[in-house]
Structure 1
Amino acid sequence: MSTPDTQLLAFYRGEGSDHQGRRIHDIWELSPFWLEHTHDYIQWLFPIPEAGRFNSFAPLLGEGARAAFAEDEVLRANQRRSLDTMLAFFGLTRRELVIEALPELNMREHIWLKRGGHNHLRISRIIRSLHLCHQPELAAAFQQAVIEIGTTQGIVSEQSLAYWQAATNT
């Protein structure tokens, strides 16, 4: 019998699929348009222990999965690849623990720089998931980057900034 942790771990190892039959490698290759307009994949790429208001099918990050991320470099490397996919979507790039804006970052094409929106929730989830999946330095680097870029190149609300700041308080 498949448990939520085993299903999530199989997906993250590239051995299983999400609830729609998509494999992690397939999601990494999808277009920015698809990433923006599809809302049921982010919970698989960046699991957290709490159920969201939407997408009740999403796996929760259980203690077993957290322990697996602590022990398995493949899982952490795949999560970094998932982060790189989302960073490109957000107009950002990463070199190890340095996350910065791409030259083409702009408010028209990267709506996370504006007030509100579902991408702010995605950012909170990503920070929290990285932190819980034993990548706290990467979580902190992403957190710092979005807060700094969101306030200097965008008009991100104080509420979103507060959520991003609190995302590592677990």
Structure 2
Amino acid sequence: MPNDTRLITFYRGDAPDHQGRMIEDIWALSPFWLEHTHDYIQWLFPIPEASRFNAFAPVLTPAVQAAFKEEATLRERQQRSLAMMLAFFGLERHGDLITAGPSLSIQEHIWLKAGGHHHLRITRIIRSLALCHQETLARAFQRAVMEIGTQRGVVSDTSLAYWRDAF
């Protein structure tokens, strides 16, 4: 199946990812699973570059970007993916505003530390949202992680620069 078709059918809920998981299955997974599995984020938040960590994940092509622009359902489903990741990161969405959730703490949410694989995930999410025609959400997420990461955590200047330059 062509790269464009694989990603679109996955996001529509009509086909699985490379591991046989439907998008709805991923949305239902536990925080423990999200923490310790590293090959799903590329499917939920595609970008134009191939992943160094998941060679099986499709990339965001102009055709896929066009599909996200044309199909509100694809954007809504990506927002559901974002909601899952926000909960995982201890954040909440209120319309176009993303804030710290009541349980957010540096002890429970390791993205608040200086570095780590979550910082790469955050960069990917910001960039993917912007490229998939969800610029307002991308900016809200970008603003939230940068502000919260420096106020409640010890996020490195390097990570902050990647988030700032994500789009």
The TM-score, its normalising length taken from structure 1, stands at 0.97
Structure 1: which 4+ aligned runs deviate by more than 6 Å?
Answer: none
1:100: which partner in 2?
Answer: 99
Tell me how far 1:54 sits from its aligned partner.
1.5
Distance 2:24 2:94 in 1: 21
The residue type equivalent to 1:144 in the other structure is R
1:68: which partner in 2?
Answer: 67
The residue type equivalent to 2:152 in the other structure is Q
Q: Secondary structure at the match of 1:145?
A: helix
Tell me how far 1:95 sits from its aligned partner.
1.4
1:118: which partner in 2?
Answer: 117
Distance 1:104 1:127 in 2: 22
Distance 1:131 1:102 in 2: 23
Alignment of 1:20-169 (within 5 A): 20-168=19-167
The residue type equivalent to 1:87 in the other structure is L
The residue type equivalent to 1:42 in the other structure is I
Distance 1:52 1:158 in 2: 23
Tell me how far 1:52 sits from its aligned partner.
2.1
C-alpha contact 2:43 2:57 (8 A) present in aligned 1: yes
Q: Secondary structure at the match of 2:93?
A: strand
C-alpha contact 2:38 2:53 (8 A) present in aligned 1: no
Distance 2:97 2:27 in 1: 21
Distance 1:103 1:81 in 2: 20
Distance 1:14 1:96 in 2: 24
Q: Secondary structure at the match of 2:39?
A: coil
Q: Secondary structure at the match of 1:47?
A: coil
Consecutive unaligned residues of structure 2, counting only runs of 5 or more, are none
Distance 2:43 2:33 in 1: 15
Tell me how far 1:53 sits from its aligned partner.
1.6
Q: State, as a whole percentage, how many aligned pairs show the same letter.
A: 66
The TM-score, its normalising length taken from structure 2, stands at 0.99
Distance 2:13 2:37 in 1: 20
The residue type equivalent to 2:41 in the other structure is I
Consecutive unaligned residues of structure 1, counting only runs of 5 or more, are none
Distance 1:139 1:80 in 2: 11
Tell me the matched-pair count: 167
